[in-house]
Amino acid sequence: MAVPAEITHSRHSGVVRVTHWITTLSFLALLLTGAEILLSHPRFYWGEAGNVLTPALFTLPLPASRATVPTGYGYVLPDQNGWSRYLHFQSAWVAVLTGLLYVAFGLFKGHFQRNLIPTGAGLSPRALFRHLRLTPPGAEDASSYNALQRLTYLLVVFVLFPLVIWTGLAMSPAIASAFPGAVTALGGQQSARTLHFFVSVLLVLFLLVHIIMVWRAGFRKRVGAMITGRAADMERI
């Protein structure tokens, strides 16, 4: 009589695991500090300049941490802008350097081609729709990423992260002075700030869906694989 037996296999390399957790911590720090910075001026503009005396492109319905910013609320939040900006910039550079290490490793070791570039039947509309419904992974996806996950990770690594870095740097007066074309290509510093906000929202949505997928696939198993580098499967022997 066949009985189930647990076997383990290699799932994630050491570089992937280390860069994953460093990026996770730095991204969480960026979210926290970014929210604090946002509260200092929850108004967005388009173009090179924008302030409380100019019309806003849109305003978030949030109270501000500065009394000079009109929000419609009768109170002002504590101003945490100083330490938030410092930690935000430090966390951003950690994320950038970690991302460069991950990309260099992925290109040199063939990680992207082997694990992230989708091929075969997984690209069919039916398969992509099944994954879009956030169904638990089947046996064919137990030891790898499905096609939708691969496409999403490629979008995050090669589009959203570079764009959030670019728009973040474009808000820096030093970068605007040294590389003005990087700012004007986005429409100006205020346009860069607005784009930075929307790209950040997309990254937060990715994070939420990523956590849901990990939970449905088996939280302990998936997180354990990202810690130890090995995943366990059940086979009948």
Residue 165 pLDDT exceeds 90: yes
Alpha carbon distance 139, 57 (integer Å): 48
| pTM for the full predicted model | 0.84
Spell out the domain ranges in the chain: 4-29+81-230
Tell me the average pLDDT across 158-163.
96
pLDDT of residue 111: 85
Alpha carbon distance 206, 64 (integer Å): 27
Alpha carbon distance 71, 42 (integer Å): 8
Digit-coded pLDDT (tens) for 101-126: 999 999 998 888 888 887 765 666 66
Q: What is the pLDDT of the chain when averaged over all its residues?
A: 85
Q: H-helix or E-strand containing 119? A: none
Q: H-helix or E-strand containing 160? A: none
The domain made up of 4-29+81-230 is a member of CATH 1.20.950.20? yes
Digit-coded pLDDT (tens) for 148-159: 788 889 999 999
Digit-coded pLDDT (tens) for 173-206: 888 899 999 999 999 999 999 999 999 999 999 9
| Residue 127 banded pLDDT, cuts 50, 70, 90 | low
pLDDT of residue 234: 40
